[in-house]
Amino acid sequence: MKYAFKGSSRGDFEKWQKSFRPELKKALGLDILEKQWTNYQPVAKLLSSEDIGFAIRERWSIQTEPTVPLPFILLRPKNPDPSRVLVITPHGHSKNTELYAGVYHDDKERESGEVGERDVAIQAVKEGYFAIAPTARGFGETRTPEDIKSDALSSCRTLLLHDILVGRTPIGDRVWDISRLIDWAVQNLPINPVKIVVTGNSGGGTVTLFAAACDTRITVAVPSSYFCTFTGSIGSLHHCECNYIPGIMQLGEMADVAGLTAPRPFCAVQGKLDTIFPIEESRKAFDHLKQVYKAAGVQDNCELYEGQEGHRYYKAGVWPFVRKHLDVK
């Protein structure tokens, strides 16, 4: 693996990061998107607004590419934290792309979402933060017409195959979408552009990790139920096609990708009983990640929080970390 981190000094770290990030973006297909849409300014349209008591919930659609409309929900706090934090909450594999924003199809889904603490955007807005809950490309309204008609969970397989044809990847597409949401939010919301948090569970953890590695405007990254090793998770266990990046292990392991977030704060949240991202592999990855942060001179900016259950979100490991590293009281 060409960019497996082996350094020990700040100089080693800076040289490694400067070389690795462009290669990662190339592997994701982000270099193609950046060249194709140089100076592209995303346009968003407000579709509806409702008062949910503690916040205003707005539905929007944003053109992250000229022909790609992406739905998202914006939660505006009625009593915003004076630090003007923005939290973006990419979701995982779910038919309900609005679950993070507290929209449920039935009581069973509500119970599952709340017990598993998957109402991530609701949690964020209750902290006083602005929250954006985007639809992950390949889900919900962004599925193919055929998959919408058959009520398929996602169009991840089709998205991967089409992306391969043009040198892109689903993860790269979703990272691009996060960056365009940041572009729009910085221009249109009363937020502090140096206090941007990204956090999501499972597939949302995937997007969180890669987005923070690629977009240095992200201040704090908290991926949940994803941080592990490629070899011990998606390389040896069944996972959705959208997880795969051609040639990624020629470059580095997952901890090396996460190391591109340094020196910015990074907290991996994992369940001890997670069967698809095993905690033993997460600990192994974290040991390697700590070496990157140590070389960067900010070892305390890197944490692993272990929840007592399985593949779910653990808010107890998220918001104290966010408050600590954004100096939000």
User: Residue 114: what pLDDT?
Assistant: 83
Q: Is the pLDDT of residue 38 over 70?
A: yes
Q: Is the peptide bond preceding residue 263 cis, with omega within 30 degrees of 0?
A: yes
Which residue in this structure is represented by tokens 């490694």? 16
Give percent of the chain above pLDDT 70: 99
Question: Residue 282: is its pLDDT beyond 60?
Answer: yes
> How far is residue 329's CA from residue 47's CA, in Å, rounded to a whole number?
34
The CB density around residue 39, as the number of other CB atoms within 10 Å, is: 4
- Would you put residue 247 in left (φ > 0), alpha (ψ -120 to 50) or beta? left
Query: Is pLDDT larger for residue 107 or for residue 270?
Result: 270
- pLDDT tens-digit readout, 141-159: 999 999 999 999 999 999 9
User: What rounded mean pLDDT belongs to the chain?
Assistant: 96
Q: Tell me the mean pLDDT in the region 219-240.
A: 97
pLDDT at residue 328 in the model: 59
pLDDT band at 4 (very low <50, low <70, confident <90, very high): very high
pLDDT for residue 329 is more than 70 = no
Is the pLDDT assigned to residue 40 strictly greater than 60?
yes
pLDDT digits (tens, 9 = 90+) for 82-131: 999 999 999 999 999 999 999 998 888 888 888 889 999 999 999 999 99
pTM for the predicted model, two decimal places: 0.97
Q: DSSP labels for 113-173?
A: HHHTT--HHHHHHHTT-EEEEEPPTTSGGGS-HHHHHTT-S--HHHHHHHHHHHT--HHHH
Which region, left, alpha or beta, applies to residue 313 given φ > 0 means left and ψ of -120 to 50 means alpha? beta
